[in-house]
Amino acid sequence: PAKLAFPTLASVLDSNKNPVDPGLAFPAGTRSITVFFRASGVNNGATWSVFCLKGDTIADSVIDRWRWGTQAQSSRAFCSLGGSLGTYRVQAYLGTTKQFEVTFSLVQPAATPTETPSPTAQP
């Protein structure tokens, strides 16, 4: 049976297009998330889609015909985001059958601790 399975999300890719920061939380201001997934048994011409939602509002979507054959393979889709804080969802479908759903967040980055100079002794 054809299926899409979720392995990870990332907001930064290296020069080989591999995830640098895989996870489910990304800093506020992030404008794009890459959705990595595994596809297997998908016939050429099958409709596949990925929806990125904030609440019930679609932030971005990809709807296309599969053209990479039935062999098991890694694939990816891209979601453009507004960058605002909050919880988002990614839903993937083959035809009208949901394959996976994952929730991720854009969060305020943790404050970077600053060093406090230690008092110096007087000679």
pLDDT tens figures, 20-73 = 999 999 999 999 999 999 999 999 999 999 999 999 999 999 999 999 999 999
For residue 90, which of 46, 19, 36 has the smallest C-alpha distance?
Answer: 36
> According to the model, what pLDDT value does residue 72 have?
97
Using CA atoms, how far apart are residues 79 and 59, in angstroms rounded to an integer? 8
**pTM for the whole thing?**
0.85
Count CB atoms within 10 A of the CB of residue 96.
Answer: 7
What are 111-120's pLDDT values in tens digits?
A: 666 666 656 6
> According to the model, what pLDDT value does residue 109 have?
78
User: Half-sphere exposure (CA, 13 Å, Cβ side) for 20?
Assistant: 8
What are 81-95's pLDDT values in tens digits?
A: 999 999 999 999 999
The strand ranges marked E within 1-122 are 3-10, 25-27, 32-40, 47-54, 57-65, 73-80, 86-94, 97-107
Whether residue 122 has pLDDT greater than 80: no
